[in-house]
Copies of this chain bind each other. A is one copy, B any other.
Amino acid sequence: MDKPEFKINGRIWIETPDGKVLGPGRVELLERIKASGSIRQAALQMKMSYKQAWDFINHMNENLGSPVVISQRGGKGGGNAVVTENGLKAIEQFHVLQSKFREFLKAEDNEFTL
């Protein structure tokens, strides 16, 4: 049969009254900062401009209760960035949500047929 294959897909994020504050991209950014200790390197890895990465982090730091990344300039290596405890919790909790969402999508995947 030439029935087209429809796939249900989607995206979830966390928002405050000020708008989106955390989503898959920002979480990946946090994880890469955690791994590399550098905003710049994380941005490069994701082929994202440093400015965008910095804007994301700044926005998260200001809207996620307490900072998720603490950065310093100067010193060994020129500076560094570390993910805070709060940031680690954000990563963890978003992963849980994302996992449940994937289950939802999987469960509904055969529910759309024309």
A interface residues with partner B (beta carbon < 8 Å): 3-17, 20-21, 63-66, 86, 89-90, 93-94, 96-97, 100-101, 104-105, 108, 111-114
- SS of A interface (majority): mixed
CA distance A21 to B5 in the complex (A): 11
Tell me the complex Cα distance, A8–B90, Å. 13
With A93-B114, A111-B96 known as contacts, the answer to whether A6 contacts B15 (CB < 8 A) is yes
Q: Name the distance in Å between A25's Cβ and chain B's nearest Cβ.
A: 14
Question: Distance in Å from the Cβ of A10 to the closest Cβ of chain B?
Answer: 3
Chain B residues in 8 Å Cβ range of A101: 10, 104
Q: Please, which residue of chain B has its CB at the minimum distance from the CB of A14?
A: B6
B7 touches A15 (CB 8 A): yes
- Given A93-B112, A97-B108, A104-B104, check contact A5 B16 (CB 8 Å): yes
Q: List 19 interface pairs A-B (beta carbons < 8 Å), by A numbering.
A: A3-B65, A4-B16, A4-B63, A6-B14, A7-B14, A8-B13, A9-B12, A9-B15, A10-B11, A10-B12, A10-B13, A10-B101, A11-B12, A64-B114, A93-B111, A93-B112, A93-B113, A96-B111, A101-B104
